[in-house]
Amino acid sequence: MDGDMEVDADVENHHVRNIGHKRQQKNGEINSAVKIFMCATELEHTKACYEQCELIVSSIESMCQSMKGEFERRKRKYQAMMEERRRMRGIQDMRNQQSAIGWMLLWCPLRDVLEKIQVLEKKREKFAEESEHLQQRIEGTIAKKQESELVERLQVVEQERNDLQRIHEEFMSNQNEVWRKRTENTRGGECQQ
């Protein structure tokens, strides 16, 4: 009985070793087939191209975001500078007017001075309104220009993205065509055998 068990154990060990050897041989054939498939289809290259495209698109998107932030920051700085400039001009204008009024008070009768002051005050108010209107137009023009430049840049980025997408689709179409031809050739080879 013990002898039968030893023989059974030896047979079983031999059987397990043969199965392991066959698996290694099969795995080697599968790995070779996978390597051939990967080389033939250039999937690694396609993956690398796709990853590079993703990097380019993400860098362009981050660049657009940073440019947008920079645009807003500069716009605020510009508006603050224009406001400061307007105030400085207003102060200088008021000083000039004050000086002119002082001289008028010295040399003109009070009644004439008051009339001129009223006229000058109206002119100043009108000038301030016109100045503010012109300032708004200038700011609007600058904003439109910057916005149009940003839109042009975004259009260029979109065109590049579309070109990359088209190239990717052409590549995949060519890839599928090659795969289809290989499949037909393989089937044709099987039919001949």
Residue 131 in any domain: the answer is yes
Q: Which two tokens stand for residue 102?
A: 């002082």
| DSSP output for 39-51 | HHHTHHHHHHHHH
Within 10 A of 14 (CB to CB), how many other CB atoms are there?
10
Q: Which two tokens stand for residue 3?
A: 């002898």
Q: Which two tokens stand for residue 100?
A: 């002119």
Residue 44 in any domain: the answer is no
Residue 34 in any domain: the answer is no
Residue 135's domain comprises 67-173
Measured in residues, the chain has a length of 193
Q: pLDDT (tens digit, 9 = 90+) per residue, 116-148?
A: 889 999 999 999 999 999 999 989 999 999 999
Q: pLDDT (tens digit, 9 = 90+) per residue, 19-59?
A: 554 555 556 666 777 777 767 777 778 888 889 999 999 99
Residue with tokens 């599968």: 30
Backbone angles phi, psi at 109, to 5 degrees: -65, 155
Provide the domain count of the chain.
1
Residue 53 in any domain: the answer is no
